[in-house]
Structure 1
Amino acid sequence: MNTWKNGKKARDVMHEGVQCIGEHETLRIASQIMCDLGVGALPVCGDDDQLKGIITDRDIVVQCCAPGRDIDRTTAGELARGLVWVDADASLEEALFAMEQHHIKRLPVTEDQRPVGIISEADLAKELPDNKLAEFVHRVYALD
């Protein structure tokens, strides 16, 4: 585990105001939202507004478009993966550890199980010393 500490919480480094895609919405709608927002990932929320997973632009291409699935019939919930998240009050070190352990580049941040932000590699690049950023990148991209 990372022994580096800076005292910041997940809420201090996350992108705020994250927009969810409903689990029943199509991937076409998800891709349009990503395009409009200029983002590559969206949290997927259920009817209760609670986090169900996350989808990325790559997920849409690899799991829907490439195999010939219908982007207008496949839902965000069908592709939602990896219910990995941290609470907004978690330390930055906890967030970093979760991302490293699960080999993920984007981590939803929640309050009361509802998404309030996302931590990305770019956010970490602003916070981590170069040597810790290099360690993070190595661990996230390393194969198990």
Structure 2
Amino acid sequence: MFPEIERLKSLKVQDVMARQVIEVSANQTMAGAARAFAKSDISSAPVIDEQGRCVGMLSAADFIKRDCPQCSEMERHELTKRGQEDDCITIEPTSDMVSSYMSTAIQSVAADESLLQAARAMSAEHIHHLPVLEDERPIGVISTMDILAALINAVEEAEAQLTPRDF
């Protein structure tokens, strides 16, 4: 009934992914990564090793060390609510390396995977960005915003096809 729904179901990751990948090096300082994030206006980036292989992901949330020794999860939450989250920051941006803060148990997708598979993986893992890999190297990144934009486009196309008889 709605070909736009079938079109949405047939979309591949490569149809909506960002192809201009901003990467950070595992051997880079957190200060260098922060500069790359700010310069490129990104909130997540694949982390690569010396051979260009994706070895992790770094997100804006990783700039606050999760295993802060002096704060429990509840204390961190309370400090954040009071605007005192700096009390839990243990990062030394000029000396700490990206490899110490990045997520290493990363999910990734291939460019030819379905958009629906990527969305399911992101939902199941509660993540907002997936690196798109080919031979272990990042060739793109897909975000929840990319998926949302594709969904909005499909709904708008479906609405444009409706006639008064459909109501």
Q: Shorter-chain TM-score: which interval?
A: 0.7 to 0.9
Query: Structure 1 runs of 4+ off > 2 angstroms?
Result: 61-69
- Whether 1:116 aligns to 2:146 is no
Whole-Å separation in 2 of the counterparts to 1:103 and 1:45 = 22
Q: In the alignment, residue 122 of structure 1 is paired with which amino acid?
A: M
Question: Higher relative CO (CA 8 A, sep ≥ 6), structure 1 or 2?
Answer: 2
- Whether 1:17 aligns to 2:20 is yes
Do 2:64 and 2:91's aligned partners in 1 also have CA atoms closer than 8 Å? Answer: no
Whole-Å separation in 1 of the counterparts to 2:124 and 2:148 = 18
- Greater shift, 35-44 or 62-71, is seen at 62-71
Residue 45 (structure 2) aligned to one of 42, 46, 52: 42
- Whether 1:78 aligns to 2:100 is yes
Query: Which runs of 5 or more structure 2 residues have no equivalent in the other structure?
Result: 1-5, 69-85, 154-167
Question: Size of the alignment, in residue pairs?
Answer: 128
Where do 1:91-106 residues align within 5 Å?
Answer: 91-106=114-129
Q: Residue deviations 1:12-46, cap 9 Å, x none? A: 11111102111010010000001000111111011
Q: Residue deviations 1:67-110, cap 9 Å, x none? A: 32211111111111131100111111111111112111111111
More helix by share: 2
**What TM-score do you get using the length of structure 2 for normalisation?**
0.70
2:9 alignment partner in structure 1: 6
SS at match of 1:6: helix
Q: In the alignment, residue 111 of structure 1 is paired with which amino acid?
A: E
Q: 1:121, CA displacement in angstroms? A: 1.6
Q: In the alignment, residue 97 of structure 2 is paired with which amino acid?
A: T
Whole-Å separation in 2 of the counterparts to 1:99 and 1:77 = 22
- C-alpha RMSD of the superposition: 2.1
Amino-acid identity (%): 27
Q: 1:128, CA displacement in angstroms? A: 2.0
- Whether 1:60 aligns to 2:63 is yes
More strand by share: 1
Q: In the alignment, residue 18 of structure 1 is paired with which amino acid?
A: V
- Greater shift, 33-42 or 73-82, is seen at 73-82
Whole-Å separation in 2 of the counterparts to 1:129 and 1:14 = 15
Choose 1 or 2 for highest CA Rg. 2
- Greater shift, 25-34 or 11-20, is seen at 11-20
Whole-Å separation in 2 of the counterparts to 1:80 and 1:69 = 13
